[in-house]
Structure 1
Amino acid sequence: MTDPNQQLDLLFGSFARSSWRWECQGDYAIDAAALQRWRDGRPADMTRKAPWLQYIREITAAGKTFDRVRMLTEPPTEYLRWLVEQTDSNIDAGEDIRWITQSAAAELGMPSYDFYLFDDSRVAIMRFGPDKLLSDLEIRDEPDVVARHRAYRDAVWPRAMPHSDYYAPRST
């Protein structure tokens, strides 16, 4: 069986123009120490995130886009409250991240699974196990499947709130 994380890494390395993600789980696996730092009100340790941020800077410098919409459960889970406060570094690196409430996403008929849309021509449907880790990646490029996922993106993107409008960091 192929490791879904390796499959995803290959997709990250092969798209030519754009990557777009629908992110709708209320919780994902997280480093417990990172969450505890946040609970304690201490600044994030950016060491683990540095390779991702460097990757985003490189692809956006090359003219590629990396966008996502994150769904906020109602009420937001602790994970999502933490994530909101961790997103500025992604924005600074070049990602365009937007937020939408669960009820607004439901009104739009958004799916209950996460997916990436690469170059408007390939979909990577993500499934997570009980441990909240990525357990399966289904890669599809059939025109009807791609068109359905482009329609999801086109419906939610203009309704989602840019991160800078949603969240203003606490002043220190």
Structure 2
Amino acid sequence: MPSTVPDFTELLGAAKHSAVHLEMRDVYYSNPRFEAWQRGERIDWSDRSQWWSSFHDEIADAVARGVHVRRARVVSEPVTEYIAWEHYITKANVAAGENVRWLPRRNTTDLLLPGNDFWIFDERVIRAHHFAGNGDIVEHQIHDDPTTVEMCASAFERIWERAIPHDEYEIR
């Protein structure tokens, strides 16, 4: 049965003001870019073709339309190899116009955190991500109940206030 969940591109393309992304896992699915990094391959940041993707186009287009795109990552320290790689490639997200922050998990004890990663678009709709234990994506869900959106948006803002800007966060 085809999914009735709008894809990320559609939701970001319709966003008018904001798109926020919360990531809370220490390991996500593997991919060829991560595996290349594990082998010691590094990006030549002066060669945009090595790192720019359609995702970066979508983010840059949204930012150009006036959408404020923010990403907060809650991470365990010392970080996993996957998170170290994400920190390395976040330079591309920032170049596309995302504002990214990192929050060490040890600094979240007094925060109520949502159970899933998500995107919130214009503080009206959540696209939740559900993962298997190994980091593979299982499904996406849409939530537009105002109470649920407000709870997740409020949690994101509390995390954001505490989180460390990308250019100041050092991998441990």
Instruction: State TM-score, norm by structure 2.
Output: 0.85
- Does 2:16 align with 1:16? yes
Shift of 1:74: 2.6
Match of 2:76 among 73, 93, 100: 73
Shift of 1:113: 1.2
Alpha-carbon distance between aligned partners in 2 of 1:75 and 1:158, rounded to the nearest angstrom: 22
Q: 1:157 to 1:144 in 2, by over 3 A?
A: same
Alpha-carbon distance between aligned partners in 1 of 2:11 and 2:27, rounded to the nearest angstrom: 23
Tell me the equivalent position of 2:87: 84
Secondary structure of 2:41's aligned partner: coil
Aligned residues: 167
Write out per-residue CA displacement over residues 99-156 of structure 1, whole angstroms, 9 at most, x where no aligned residue.
Answer: 0011223331212310111101111221013452322222111121111112102211
Q: 1:167 to 1:5 in 2, by over 3 A?
A: farther
| Paired residues for 1:83-162 under 5 Å | 83-162=86-165
Q: CA RMSD in A?
A: 2.3
Between the aligned residues of both structures, percent identity stands at 26
Shift of 1:86: 0.8
Tell me the equivalent position of 1:60: 63
Alpha-carbon distance between aligned partners in 2 of 1:111 and 1:23, rounded to the nearest angstrom: 10
Alpha-carbon distance between aligned partners in 1 of 2:2 and 2:76, rounded to the nearest angstrom: 31
Alpha-carbon distance between aligned partners in 1 of 2:63 and 2:168, rounded to the nearest angstrom: 22
Stretch deviating more after TM superposition (119-128 or 93-102): 119-128
Alpha-carbon distance between aligned partners in 2 of 1:125 and 1:40, rounded to the nearest angstrom: 32
Shift of 1:164: 0.7
Tell me the equivalent position of 1:28: 28
CA contact (8 A) 1:126 1:137 kept: yes
